[in-house]
Amino acid sequence: MTILVRDIAESDFAAWKPLWDRYNAFYGRSGETALPAHITDMTWSRFLDAYEPMHALVAESDGELVGLVHYLFHRSTILVQPTCYLQDLFTTEAARGKGVGRALIEAVSERAKAAGSPRVYWHTHETNATAMRLYDSVATKPGFVVYSR
């Protein structure tokens, strides 16, 4: 599988949206609990706004989008440089195990390095064993537990 990772383009919306919907469905945000359209619309517009710290890349194979990754930069109390948070990562079922997720993570890491960010971090649900096999091979677990309120 030949994989091209690139910045998202305005013309990608129709192909990105089904991936975004499947990503959200994986985390239980579908049907009655789906994200409202205005949130998806705002998220999409942020990717295209050069003044926003939120970014999106897509993985393409044979002219078809097979994965997405969203990331953002934020300040930290323990670093002078920006920190990069990889917020969303999704690949189609057919693309899993073929290097797409790894290529997307590497691309975010390269963008973070270019932006002067020494750190890229992310989290996933504890039941996401498939993703964790990849994550365990490309990163370390610092031991922190996430709380949400």
pLDDT in tens, 32-76: 888 899 999 999 999 999 999 999 999 999 999 999 999 999 999
pLDDT in tens, 92-104: 999 999 999 999 9
Of residues 111, 112, 8, the one with CA closest to residue 56: 8
The CATH number of the domain holding residue 126 is 3.40.630.30
Beta bridge partner(s), residue 74: 83
Instruction: Specify if 143 maps to a domain.
Output: no
Of residues 66, 86, 63, the one with CA closest to residue 74: 86
Instruction: Specify if 144 maps to a domain.
Output: no
Range of the domain at 129: 4-138
Please say if the pLDDT value at position 146 is more than 90. Answer: no
Instruction: Specify if 20 maps to a domain.
Output: yes
Give the list of residues 6+ apart from residue 79 with CB closer than 8 angstroms, or none: 118, 119
Spatial contact of 129 and 97, defined as CB atoms under 8 Å apart: no
Instruction: Specify if 147 maps to a domain.
Output: no
Q: What number of CA atoms fall less than 13 Å from residue 88's CA on the CB side?
A: 23
Q: What number of CA atoms fall less than 13 Å from residue 138's CA on the CB side?
A: 18
Instruction: Specify if 44 maps to a domain.
Output: yes
Domain total for the chain? 1
